[in-house]
A and B are shown apart, each in its own frame.
Chain A
Amino acid sequence: MLLEREHKSSWWKAILLLPDYIGLSIVRSSEFKFSFYSYLFLYVAQIAFYLFFWNLVNPPNIDGWSKEACFLLTGFATLNIALQELVWATGMIDQMILKGDLIVVLVRPENSYFGLVMRRMGAMAVIPATLGLSVVVVTLCFYYELHLLQLSLACVICIFGAICMRALMLCVNTLGFKFGRVTALKSFVLSGRDLSRYPLTLLPLQFNVMLSTLFPVLLISNYPAKFLLLKDPSQMFLMLSFAFIITVAWILFAMFCWRRGLKIYEAQSL
Chain B
Amino acid sequence: MISKCMGFFQLELKQINEFKLDFFLFWIEALMKCTLMLLFWNQMWTQSRGYVFSEMDQPRFMSMILITQFMLLPYRGSERVAQLLEQPVISGQMALILCRPIHPIAMNLARILCQHGRMLIVALLLMFTVQYFFFESLTNYELKFSSIAWHYFIPSILLSILVNFFVFTGLGLFSFWIGDVWSLLYVFGILAGFFSGQFYPLHMDSTLEYWSRWLPFRYIGYSPALIYMGREGLDELLRQFVTATALGVICFKGFALSLKKFEASGG
Binding site for B on A (CB under 8 A): 32, 34-35, 38-39, 41-42, 45-46, 49, 53, 56-57, 59-60, 62-63, 181, 183-185, 187-188, 191, 194-195, 198-200, 202-204, 207
CB distance from B206 to the nearest CB of A (A): 11
B91 beta carbon closer than 8 Å to chain A? no
Kindly identify, within residues 163 to 183 of chain B, every residue whose CB is under 8 Å from any CB belonging to chain A: 178-180, 182-183
A35 and B200 form a contact (CB under 8 A): no
Known: A188-B28, A195-B33. 6 other contacts (CB 8 A): A38-B187, A42-B190, A60-B48, A183-B22, A187-B29, A191-B33
Contact residues, B21-41 vs A (CB, 8 A):
21-22, 25-26, 28-29, 33, 36, 39-40
User: What are 10 inter-chain pairs, A to B, with CB distance below 8 A?
Assistant: A42-B186, A49-B194, A59-B51, A184-B21, A187-B25, A191-B29, A199-B40, A202-B43, A204-B39, A207-B36
Q: With A53-B194, A181-B22, A188-B25 as known contacts, state yes or no: A203 contacts B39, CB within 8 Å.
A: yes
List chain B positions with a Cβ less than 8 A from chain A: 19, 21-22, 25-26, 28-29, 33, 36, 39-40, 43-44, 47-48, 51, 53, 77, 178-180, 182-184, 186-187, 190-191, 193-194, 199-200, 204-205, 208
Report the minimal beta-carbon distance from A208 to chain B, rounded to whole angstroms.
Answer: 11
B29: which A residues are within 8 A, CB to CB?
184, 187-188, 191
Residues of B within 8 A of A181 (CB): 19, 22
B-side contacts of A32, CB under 8 Å: 179-180
Q: Separation in Å of the A40 CB from the closest CB of chain B?
A: 9
B183: chain A residues at CB < 8 Å are: 34-35, 38-39, 42
Supposing A38-B184, A188-B25 touch, asked if A202 and B40 sit within 8 A by C-beta, the answer is yes
Q: State the CA gap A38–B186 with chains docked (Å).
A: 9
Q: Which of A46, A53, A195, A203 contacts B200 (CB 8 A)?
A: A53
- For B195, the closest partner residue in chain A by CB is A49
> How far is A32 from B44 in the complex, measured between Cα atoms in Å?
43
- Contact, CB under 8 Å: A59 / B33: no
Q: Find chain A residues with CB under 8 A from B36 CB.
A: 195, 200, 203, 207
**Chain A contacts of B33 at CB under 8 A?**
191, 194-195
Q: Give CA–CA (A16, B7) in the complex, Å.
A: 55
Is B48 in contact with A56, judged by CB distance below 8 angstroms?
no
Please indicate the chain A residues that have their CB under 8 angstroms from the CB of B184 in the complex.
38
Nearest A-chain residue to B40, judged by Cβ = A198
A200–B205 Cα gap in the complex (Å)? 23
Q: Is the CB of B44 within 8 A of A59?
A: yes
Please give me the residue from chain B that is nearest to A194 by CB atom: B33
A57 to B199 CA separation, bound complex (whole angstroms) = 11
Distance, CA A174 to CA B39, complexed state (A): 32
Q: How far is A204 from B40 in the complex, measured between Cα atoms in Å?
A: 10
Which residue of B39, B186, B193 is within 8 Å of A207 (Cβ)? Answer: B39
Question: For residue B21, which residues in chain A have a CB less than 8 angstroms away from its CB?
Answer: 184
B205: nearest chain-A partner, CB-CB: A56
Are A184 and B53 in touch, CB under 8 angstroms?
no
Do the beta carbons of A203 and B40 come within 8 Å of each other?
yes
Q: How far is the CA of A59 from the CA of B48 in the complex (A)?
A: 8
A46 touches B53 (CB 8 A): no
How far, in Å, is A117 (CB) from chain B's closest CB? 21
Within the complex, the shortest CB–CB distance from B44 to chain A, in Å, comes to 6
Please report the C-alpha to C-alpha distance between residue A53 and residue B178 in the assembled complex, in whole angstroms: 31
Question: Which residues on A sit within 8 Å (CB–CB) of B40?
Answer: 198-200, 202-203
CB nearest to A45 among chain B residues: B190
Q: Are B182 and A35 in contact (CB under 8 A)?
A: yes
* Residues of chain A lying within 8 A (CB to CB) of residue B44: 57, 59, 62, 202
- Judging by beta carbons under 8 Å apart, are B194 and A62 in contact? no
A42 touches B204 (CB 8 A): no
Residue of B at shortest CB range from A186?
B25
A184 engages B22 (CB within 8 Å): yes
Separation in Å of the A121 CB from the closest CB of chain B? 19
Would you call A62 and B48 a contact (CB within 8 A)?
yes
Within 8 Å CB of B48, what residues of A? Answer: 59-60, 62
Name the one of B22, B26, B53, B180 contacting A35, with C-beta atoms under 8 angstroms.
Answer: B180
